[in-house]
Amino acid sequence: MTEKKITSIGRCYACKRTFAFDPGTVMMFSIDPETGLIPGMTVFGGMREPTPEALARAVDMPICPDCVSKAKKFLEAEDPFAGWKRWPTDER
Ligand SMILES: [Zn+2]
C-alpha cells in the first residue's frame, strides 16, 4: 500500500449519492438524527440556536463535494453569521 489517502465509501447525507472520500478531509455535517437536520436548523429551513440536546445527539454525516459547494452558496446567500457554527474543516 503506497496510497497515502485512506478512502472510505459513504452516502452523501444531502443527495444520497454514494461517493468515495478521504475521512481526514471530507466535509461532515453534524446531523440531529431526531430531525434529520443540522442542529439549530428548523424544518422550514431557518436557523436558530441549537439546543444542547440536539448538539449532544448530533452525528457526523459525510457530504459529497457537489453538495458542499451548493450548501456554501446557499449559506452565503443567507446571513452567513446567523447562528451558523464554523465549517468543521480544522477539527480533525
Ligand atoms: Zn451530495
Q: Which residues contact 27 (CB under 8 A, 6 or more apart)?
A: 62, 63, 65, 68, 87, 88, 89
In a domain, 79, yes or no: yes
Distance 71 CA to ligand 1 centre (A): 10
In a domain, 88, yes or no: no
* Pair 72, 89: CB distance under 8 Å: no
Q: How confident is the model at residue 4 (pLDDT cuts 50, 70, 90)?
A: low
Residue 30, domain extent: 8-83
In a domain, 61, yes or no: yes
Reported as a single tens digit per residue, the pLDDT across 51-86 is 999 999 999 989 999 988 887 887 777 655 555 555
Q: Please count the structural domains in the chain.
A: 1
Q: How much is the pLDDT for 87?
A: 54
Distance 14 CA to ligand 1 centre (A): 5
Reported as a single tens digit per residue, the pLDDT across 22-40 is 988 898 888 888 888 888 8
Distance 29 CA to ligand 1 centre (A): 11
In a domain, 89, yes or no: no
* Pair 43, 50: CB distance under 8 Å: no
Distance 11 CA to ligand 1 centre (A): 8
Q: How much is the pLDDT for 41?
A: 81
